[in-house]
Chain A
């Protein structure tokens, strides 16, 4: 026996305590998924009303807004990648990052330069490790996103989209020089959509320029949109609505990503617990074998010793 019984016992013990941890993480993730889904549900009325209002303005006025105008000859794109803050969630972050890389290659093939924006520590670490530039990163909220984060992200992305400067420049921000990348012509978001507890899909959507999604969540077709009076004016109302619409889409993506992250973590922790179970079984078997081998060896030593003694006595007589 290469390893003694004592060592096997130690291994069983450490695997058992590991199992306790993964089991706890599994249960925590499971209980948080429910909360994350509730949060996604309670954000739905806002998104629904906002979509109604935006389509009302879009239907009854022919307003061109910078956020909805397709730029001619787009040269630069921004990607917002939504990853998790913590690992131990299986392939969750890496599959989002893979999707982001695919999108980046596609955009680059179309001759666009790509700026990266990150949400979540894992994505940030991925880019920093490879020494690739990140324009801005937001971290520390991936499993419980709040609307403030969505607002901040929306503010930055809209700023980058509206900015028409073709060159990077430096501005004064809080007394420090801050590099502002050139304005982008389109903004994409890569996140993981929560389809069910078992299926989460990385997806990319184009956030800007906005296409007001008429099909999604439209009021029932028999309901005619009323002839609204816009105050102060359709342009100004649209001006106020569209950034909020963008923020609400980002918030939606963050909430979906949070639910997906927790589901992925629960799945990963469940299989870790199952593996620990199997390991414990295997170690217990080998430990029993080692114990049995020890006993057999002791018996044969005693028998051998007795025989040797008997032989010696027989010889001396």
Chain B
């Protein structure tokens, strides 16, 4: 592991979504937006449903939508864990939007809120990627 890159793993409950070297990771935590560069201090933080932005070591940028989870940073290793995570290119924004309409119509408040946040994150990720 070199000193100026981060080893990033984006892990969903049922699969490893992405892993590789990166220079910058941007995520939204419970405390607000954080940006992680190499040699960041060790942090373990709760993640909110939102968009993850990662700049890879080759200079490319990818986005992913995640729901509640957490991020741990230690010794230039970044692990992002979420129950569900999808890369932006795999998300169909139209589908997510119609899903959102349907969920908003439901009256189960507690479940709906979480679902709405999750879907909004997906839509945002897909829009920013395109």
Contacts and interface: CB of A to CB of B under 8 A. Distances in A.
Interface of A: 39, 42-43, 45-46, 49-50, 52-53, 56-57, 146-147, 150-151, 174, 225-232, 236-237, 240-241, 244, 247-248, 251
A189 to B, nearest CB: 17
A174 B108 contact: yes
B45 interface: yes
Interface in B13-55: 13-16, 29-31, 41-46
B14 A53 contact: no
A226 B41 CA distance: 9
Contacts of A236: 30, 46
Contacts of B43: 228-231
Contacts of A150: 13
A147 B13 contact: yes
Nearest to B19: A45
Interface in B49-102: 68-70, 72, 74-75, 79, 81, 83-84
A152 to B, nearest CB: 10
A231 B42 contact: no
Interface majority SS (helix, strand, loop, mixed), chain A: helix
Contact of A147 (B14, B29, B68): B14
A52 B72 contact: yes
Contact of B74 (A43, A45, A46, A226): A226
A251 B70 CA distance: 18
Contacts, number: 87
A43 B72 contact: no
Nearest to A57: B44
A231 B14 contact: no
Contact of B70 (A42, A226, A237): A237
Contacts of A39: 14
Contact of B9 (A43, A45, A151, A247): A45
B11 interface: yes
Contacts of B31: 231-232
B63 to A, nearest CB: 21
B116 interface: no
Contacts of B103: none
B41 A229 contact: yes
Nearest to A248: B13
Contact of A43 (B13, B44, B69, B108): B13
A244 B15 contact: no
Contacts of A50: 81
Nearest to B81: A49
A228 B44 contact: yes
A253 B14 CA distance: 13
A151 B79 contact: no
Contacts of A46: 11-14, 81
B41 A45 contact: no
Given A52-B72, A244-B69, A237 B79 contact: no
B108 A251 contact: no
B11 A227 contact: no
Contacts of A244: 69-70, 81, 83
B45 A45 contact: no
29 contacts: A42-B14, A42-B15, A42-B16, A46-B11, A46-B81, A49-B9, A49-B81, A53-B44, A53-B72, A147-B12, A147-B83, A174-B108, A228-B42, A228-B74, A229-B41, A231-B30, A231-B31, A231-B45, A236-B30, A236-B46, A237-B70, A240-B46, A240-B68, A240-B70, A241-B70, A244-B70, A244-B83, A247-B83, A251-B13
